[in-house]
Amino acid sequence: MKEELIKIFTAQDNIQAEMILATLSDNNIPALKKDIGSAGIMNLYGGNSNFGEEIYVAVWNAEKAEEVLRDMGLC
């Protein structure tokens, strides 16, 4: 059975996205990122992109994840 995912944040770049994913993981919240536009190619060739990255979590984890983002000063 697939879990329903919800977008909780759009990171400015890959670096911010990775910091968010690490912090969510530290709080036992599984998350994933999705490249926006050509971000994946730019990350591969340039090490970073400014196209942005969307952060997703399971719907049932969204409230806890948003609290973590607030604690990080992102919401």
Spell out the domain ranges in the chain: 5-71
Q: Element (H or E) spanning 27, and its range? A: none
β pairing state of 31-35 and 53-58: antiparallel
Q: What is the mean pLDDT of the chain?
A: 86
The whole model's pTM is what? 0.81
Closest CA relative to residue 67, chosen from 15, 10, 9, 14? 9
Coil, strand or helix at 20: helix
Is residue 1 pLDDT above 70, yes or no? no
8-state DSSP, 50: S
16 vs 39, more confident: 16
* Range from 2-6, 58-62, 66-70 carrying the lowest mean pLDDT: 2-6
Say how far apart CA 17 and CA 70 lie, in whole Å.
15
Q: Does domain 5-71 have CATH number 2.40.40.20?
A: no
